[in-house]
Amino acid sequence: MEVKTAINREIFTPHDEKMLVAVQVKRRTKKKIPFLATGGQGDYSTYICISKTKKKPFHVSITKVKRFEGSMAFVRRSQWSIDQLRQVNGIDPNRDSAEFDLTFDTAFDQWVASSCGEKGIFVQVLHTTCQQHCSERKPEFVNCQAHLLRGNSILHTAADSVTSAVQKASQALNERGERLGRTEEKTGEMMNSAQQFADTAHKLAMKHKC
């Protein structure tokens, strides 16, 4: 979480953008890049991020961010508009998988996320964002698990949990109210019985006096 907060602060906040989600990835297939092209900077960590401008008209981007070994700074590398995204391939719709592919107008990358859960959140946020903000043809989502493409299922799950908690609390209050009602009813009956007993005792006492 600290890493993603740092990415948002260093890469997106200065450009008046807000990062929606980030996933750490590694390539499934290595690209053949000349040694000089990398600047000889050694190993690095790669993150794929989705961001949105804070002001209207909203502009959504998918950005590749890297942090090189020995450095605490993050570096913005490639960036695409969400309208340039053509396909998201979840690889296998029948099982959890950390693998996914992104196809843009001018690029194609094969990735492995740090975990299946991270990949799932990324795909879900990307799908929801595309439905909301793609101004042109929406990208195709293939081989993705169905529950990732049902809109804001994370929010729905949270909302369902809150609703369930409220319903349980309401039920508990109703049951308590019923118990209290029964208790009050029994108390009233006991008071009536006591009053009747007192009246009878008083009459008996007066009778014996006479």
Tokens of 6: 């740092």
Cis-peptide, bond into residue 57, ω within 30° of zero: yes
Helical H segments across 91-152, by residue range: 116-133
Q: For the chain, state the CA radius of gyration.
A: 32
Instruction: Give the alpha-carbon dihedral of 145, 146, 147, 153, to 10 degrees.
Output: 120
Q: Answer yes or no: CATH 2.30.29.90 is held by domain 2-151.
A: yes
pLDDT in tens, 86-104: 999 999 999 999 999 999 9
pLDDT of 154 reads 47
* Its pTM surpasses 0.75: no
Residue the block writes with tokens 């979480």: 1
pLDDT of 38 reads 45
Residue ranges per structural domain of the chain: 2-151
The Cα 151–Cα 127 span in angstroms is 7
Averaged pLDDT, 185-190: 67
pLDDT of 156 reads 44
